[in-house]
Amino acid sequence: MAEHVAIKGARGGLRVVVDDTCSWDDAFAAIQHQLSHGANLLHGMSVSFDMGARTIDSTEMQSLYAVLQTYQLTTADIQADSSEVRQFARAVGLTAKPRSIAHTNAVMPVAPAPILIKNLRSGQVHKHLHGDLTLLGDVNAGAELIVAGSLVVFGRVRGLVHAGALGDRTAIICAIELAATQIRIADVRARAPEHDAHRTPEIACIEDGQIIVHSWEEYRR
């Protein structure tokens, strides 16, 4: 189901790419699923919905608008080949554009994985949607760190970390102290178990659809 909709990084924001070959019911359900899982990711970002060559009627556009309202995404713009779809979008108050070739073929340039030297404080949110990230510092309780690729924290994680935020389930999270309140990889979430004080560095990854945390020694083997 999740394959019908993909969230991709785009210049200056995010692009929600909606499969134009499946039924609208499937696509619509997938959109709702992605939006509910991606709330943290989308917050504060400029978002566009790429409808491809799909045609939908005005009632379907209104139900899409209702969902966008729930997630406070009514400033999103709709990109569609069909001028009718663009008309329906404008009728409900969304902005709409035709898709440009440049847009569809643009590949997000993968920057070399930067090192961020910072302690993320409670209430701060840092998003890095260009690939992997190394953080030299802590993620304090109440802070959020969202990364499209894998994440290495050379410090303590006590807050929320989300790797593979655009859907990459192969992303991993490494930390010297992984005491996170919540770990997320792609669309999978896990709550950290009650841990004791003696910790080793750990690595979290997805195995069989679940987040598993290994000690770094274990992982190497």
Residues that bind other proteins (CB under 8 A): 119-124, 138, 140-143, 156, 158
Residue 126 CA to residue 186 CA, distance in Å, equals 16
Tokens of 141: 């309780």
Output the smallest distance, CB 110 to other proteins, in A.
29
The residue among 54 and 156 lying less far from other proteins, judged by its C-beta, is 156
The residue among 50 and 144 lying less far from other proteins, judged by its C-beta, is 144
Output the smallest distance, CB 126 to other proteins, in A.
11
Instruction: Give me the amino acid identity at 199.
Output: R
Under 8 Å between Cβ of 65 and 45: no
Alpha helix segments (H runs only) across the chain:
24-37, 39-42, 58-70, 83-91, 101-105, 216-220
Output the smallest distance, CB 158 to other proteins, in A.
8
Q: How many CB atoms lie within 10 A of CB 111?
A: 10
Output the smallest distance, CB 121 to other proteins, in A.
3
The residue among 98 and 123 lying less far from other proteins, judged by its C-beta, is 123
The residue among 52 and 142 lying less far from other proteins, judged by its C-beta, is 142
Output the smallest distance, CB 153 to other proteins, in A.
14
The residue among 23 and 122 lying less far from other proteins, judged by its C-beta, is 122
Tokens of 123: 């209430």
Q: Name which of 165, 190, 144 is nearest 37 in CA terms.
A: 165
Question: How is the beta sheet containing 182-185 ordered, strand by strand?
Answer: 125-128, 144-147, 160-163, 182-185, 188-191
Collapsed DSSP state (helix, strand, coil) of residue 151: strand
